[in-house]
Amino acid sequence: MLLQVVFLLGLVASPILGLIGKCSQPMSDSTTIYDFSLPNIFKTGTINFADLRGKVILVVNVATYCDHTPQFLGLNALQKEFGSDLQIIAVPTDQFHYEEPGANGTEIMNGLKYVRPGNGFIPAFPLTAKTEVNGIHEHKMFTYLKKYCEPTDELFYPGLTYQGNKVHDIRWNFEKILIDRTGKPVKRYNVYVLPADLRDDIRAQIQGAEQHEHKLPVLGSFIG
């Protein structure tokens, strides 16, 4: 409870950069999320982001025993609402107040099902194996995603389990990074931005791509 109060006071008192950060990747960098992969939650296979080409992707770092874990319900709702146009990928991490103690996929999935959110909850999207999102051992995908996205807070909160804070670090569980249909990050959301608040941005990415695809044949008719 004290940690949450400190977090909320920080949101009020600090000149945070806004709850939503813009992402801007220079044309000179051809890296995309498709260059990366992560083991799945049970380490029985690999989540290859290259297999998600053409979809809008939402990457969320998650934890089972966090005050924000009920956001899993909202993430499920987003996945079901947008269907195959959207792919949410949840990345469990234990770097914030040890809020993901699960030693393996079975423990993590059972925690979600029976404890929090509980009531038989089953994610409607894939989870990766536990992954470090900050620090010297952070996964290179997060190094890439954070590099071109504005941080959504200037403060670092008590309970970090890694050393070497950097300005672009993920600040807590349930930050979210939205990736467009070309595989590049477009927006980054603070933990206090609820999944439902992402609907318009997700829809804009989906519809923007659809409109572009629809216009291509029309442009081609003038060229040929």
- Spell out the SS3 assignment of the chain: CHHHHHHHHHHHHCCCCCCEEEECCCCCCCCCHHHCEEEECCCCCEEEHHHHCCCEEEEEEECCCCCCCCHHHHHHHHHHHHHHHEEEEEEECCCECCCCCCCCHHHHHHHHHHCCCCCCCCCCCCEECCCCCCCCCCCHHHHHHHHCECCCCCCCCCCECCCCCCCCCCCCCCCEEEECCCCCEEEEECCCCCHHHHHHHHHHHHHHHHHHHHHHHHHHHHHC
**Residues designated catalytic:** 66
